[in-house]
Structure 1
């Protein structure tokens, strides 16, 4: 038998014990790799990715969560292990879809790709007279201009080549500002890393996709990190020269936010203003800088859009009920959609309750981390200001989440340490480590101090981590567009002459905004409900009337795809049977001819011959008289 003392130093017992946290991490990632290789996403149901995932994925996520919890609670483990587990979490959370799906997810990401492509082809910014409602993106062009430069730098065809990995990349960019913010109030690595974990678990809102919001949110956290750390109550910051440097950095970050996104500057202003008014940070420079830059942009580049939108914005102020109402076409229907929506609500509710419990259980944080508590509550008044397209409740939740995660993590831990107690805690920890040396070999999780206080919170953390999957990926049937659908839509826009009109049920399909500078769109489910009912009653005749008036050589197309059907069914617009009836009526009508068809969709063209009204009992006269109404409904 080999004497352990004869083993090389690498295999010494202390080193083996030091590497023990690697076992759950490696096991979890191995299970993840096995799961993604054995997951089929070709036929998603109303539960999205949840029902399609191989059981190995769930097992890996459970192992990862347990390994993280016992590692972060063990005072002997370096912080690098906690960071490794968080990176493993981000890979399992945010890279799974990029690995499984052959095409990028989410119609809004494809829309933003279209904006980048238009900016590249147009060669400059355009106004509403040239591109209509899409001019709003040219009035906040920061993100899109940066992406256009990146596309050219990388030498790729479009942003679609890398935007599937954007959720992972944008989540990684949040790590640094989160760590800086949390370290402002504590050096307790248990609290810091548990808060980071909880933040990413609860961040199911989905604003990490290829969008200006994903970048603006990271910059928003960066500004808060600088202000909290360098503009303290006592004016810390390294003197005038140091303050000038930090003010220049804040100015740069704020400018990038203001020129890229409409909502984030408002959220930043209310946060900074709350800190200043409550005397938590007495320096007025950050809030004044943000207000001045924001107003300067609103009164110049963004003025055309704001002038048109101002009446509706004023009417929304104070209408809390209307601002949080989802409205028609945004209410989940069907068992899968309802279950996943409730999973998201319960996850958010649970984390909010944890935050309340953390504030109550850890009274020292109510004083030491009061600025973070102020920032957490600051976005709440935005409910009064606007509905933001029925998304304000989700955005408020996202901007509250950094603070909510911090106080929620405090609820899962015993007494936490703040900066004021760092030295005393370090001495106590050193003494505890010395006393614990003799008990090192008792096993993982069985040392003194590991008991109910360690095992008790684990089910809570595990439940939240598992609940993230249905909350984030439960509607992938809507978000995923198979390659056949992408190819079909791409062929349509490649062949459509300038000035053509594309009619579809809704905008939930890839490339929906491709060529928007030269091709018009009409999504009839966004029209008045009475007109939608007319289409359901007499699909071919009503759609032909709406599509009339397109002058040759331009053409009018009817596009129906798998993504449109999924969105309509799962959000309570039209049922699958109603949509099938519309498609079948168009297919049977002599007014239309088939252009292209795949397993994921179909394209029909409105005939432009003089006898296209034959067999419809004088519908040609009706079409001529209703042509302007169809154009108005299309928003042209």
Structure 2
């Protein structure tokens, strides 16, 4: 029972750190510098305790699971407890989509919603969350949003363990692989999004195929039941996300070509579901996007390009970016090493090795809004973590068979620094940019009051979309983000901010009004992603504040709302 000790100490230190951490003023290092030092000590104790516990191949699976759950609590529950509002502007956007479904009670077309209609063409995740809101009797998904990273990370454990267990009985390898998956999964797919659910279902489909579809020659009477389960898992993936079904189809196609899993039923089922949905419900979006999608095929340089306004600036943002790169590079390098030094495992887990090689092919297909490289890392991680774990463990006992012998002493101490390093590196990679991901209650209240009070047809303009409810009531309000214009247009705005913005915003029909919103979240994004310097931001704010075109209608410590005086703009145009 000695493994209880490190686990209890780690969680005690974590609980103390959470109680004594204050996030009133976040600097450019986000939670890294804000969290109490006890958090780092607890994380180190947890990682060391896990490694010394998992070294015993006869240790019960419950210990590996307990330590992994402790890791997820320390990783994902910390933000939910220390931040009073949910993180990430994209999560707030998805709450707005759920709100749209609850308000309208149905789906709408591109002619009615514009670019936001794409969410109505893949509504699976949002419809499910709308049902949850109705059943729970709450107004929105904000509480669920805060805890979703922990929930989605726990849900992914079951299919991940099943996949790893398909290729080895060595508990050391299984749980070390799961641990490396958790610490390497910094990309942020676990936030409140269709991708988080789709990834779990994607892995569940692969686990089912690997374990229950060994090949056509082994097909039995129960195969119809497993096929039904398979289709049931695939349907919400196809209805919820654009990219995951593509990865799933390619993965199942690769498995169907192997001797062990030469069964075309899963592949054909995925293709049929994907085609049925894309030729009906999502056809309007695909028809419009297809030319651009075809043009990006083979353009690897453009597909991995991050784009304008996404270059980290400042010590905190740069440190977080390099920590994330180093973490991913370490896991991938360990995976290559593990595959090379373990030929017996390479043969036994060849399907998993092939599945790990599928995601990089996506880079040649599309840029996915400058996010493809992150999605590739995410889809590679389940297999990469398995082979990375093999690099940290002795060669004997990596495949099916009897219980392996105890870990030799050198394999106990040498990998420990690596386990500690990658575990600690997760924190800056995942939470190092919380300054631009966190919106304090004052900011959420300011924007919420604006969205609630703005008349139908109003325009809400802002520097960028990094603030809560950036898509608030998008079915009745228009939104405009001036820093997302082309660089030449941004330069014109910076040269004469108030006048240029007033001219851009003036064409709002009655009874709508035009509002200009400045918040700390926008400023953090502009500064940390290289869009504006602090001096440029202050110049824009001062120009608007002293202009005759705008009048201040709301203000608190997190931001300011201005309303455009359309008559003042008309008077100047008449004078000209």
TM norm structure 2: 0.98
Does residue 212 of structure 2 align to residue 230 of structure 1?
A: yes
The answer for the alignment partner of 1:331 in structure 2 is 311
2:554 counterpart residue number:
596
Instruction: Check whether the contact 1:318–1:384 (CA below 8 A) recurs between aligned residues.
Output: yes
Aligned counterpart in structure 2 of residue 251 of structure 1, from 231, 250, 275: 231
Name 1:4's counterpart in structure 2. Answer: none
Contact 1:181 1:228 in 2 (8 A): yes
Q: Distance in 2 between matches of 1:620 and 1:381?
A: 58
**2:270 counterpart residue number:** 290
The one of 195, 203, 210 aligned to 2:177: 195
CA deviations 1:389-417 (Å, max 9, x no partner) are: 00000001100100000000000001243
Q: Secondary structure at the residue paired with 2:84?
A: coil
Unaligned runs of at least 5 residues, structure 2: none
SS in 1 for 2:21: coil
Mapping of 1:562-581 within 5 angstroms? 562-581=520-539
| Structure 1 position 367 matched with structure 2 position 367 | no
Which residue of 523, 526, 537 corresponds with 2:484?
526
Superposed counterparts of 1:389-404, under 5 Å: 389-404=369-384
Bigger Cα displacement from structure 2, 85-94 vs 41-50: 41-50
Using a 3 Å threshold, how does the CA distance of structure 1 residues 620 and 565 change in structure 2: closer, same or farther? Answer: farther
Supply the distance in 2 between the matched residues of 1:384 and 1:75 (Cα, whole angstroms).
Answer: 41
Deviations 1:603-630 (A, max 9, x none): 0000133x5566xxx44567xxxxxxxx
Aligned with 2:68 (options 59, 64, 86):
86
Q: Which of 107, 120, 125 is 2:102 aligned to?
A: 120
- Partner SS for 2:364: helix
- In structure 2, the residue matched to 1:317 is 297
Aligned Cα root-mean-square deviation (Å) = 1.3
Matching residue of 1:629: none
Partner of 1:109: 91
Distance 1:362 1:234 in 2: 29
Report how far residue 450 of structure 1 moved.
4.8
Structure 2: distance between partners of 1:25 and 1:464: 18
Greater displacement, 282-291 / 330-339? 330-339
Partner Cα distance (1:613, 1:128) in 2: 32
Aligned to 1:347: 327
2:192 is equivalent to residue 210 of structure 1? yes
User: Which of 44, 48, 66 does residue 62 from structure 1 map onto?
Assistant: 44
Q: Deviations over 1:412-439 (max 9, x none)?
A: 001243554x1xx23x75xx7xxxxxxx
Which sits farther off after the overlay, 359-368 or 496-505?
359-368
Deviation at 1:566, TM superposition (A): 0.4
Q: Does the Cα contact within 8 Å between 1:93 and 1:469 map onto a contact in 2?
A: yes
CA distance, structure 1, for counterparts of residue 17 and residue 359 of structure 2? 39
**Pair 1:503 & 2:466 matched:** no
CA contact (8 A) 1:35 1:53 kept: yes
The answer to whether the 8 Å contact 1:591/1:613 transfers is no
Quote the residue 1:156 is aligned against. Answer: 138
**Contact 1:230–1:236 under 8 Å retained in 2:** no
TM-score of the pair, normalised by structure 1: 0.89
Aligned to 1:305: 285
From 167, 176, 187, the counterpart of 2:158: 176
Deviates more, 1:566-575 or 1:228-237: 228-237
**CA shift at 1:279, angstroms?**
3.6
Q: Unpaired runs of 5+ in structure 1?
A: 1-18, 433-448, 623-636
**Which residue of structure 1 lines up, in the alignment, with residue 22 of structure 2?**
40
Equivalent residue, structure 2, for 1:408: 388
For residues 553 and 234 of structure 1, the distance between their equivalents in structure 2, rounded to whole angstroms, comes to: 65
CA contact (8 A) 1:98 1:165 kept: yes
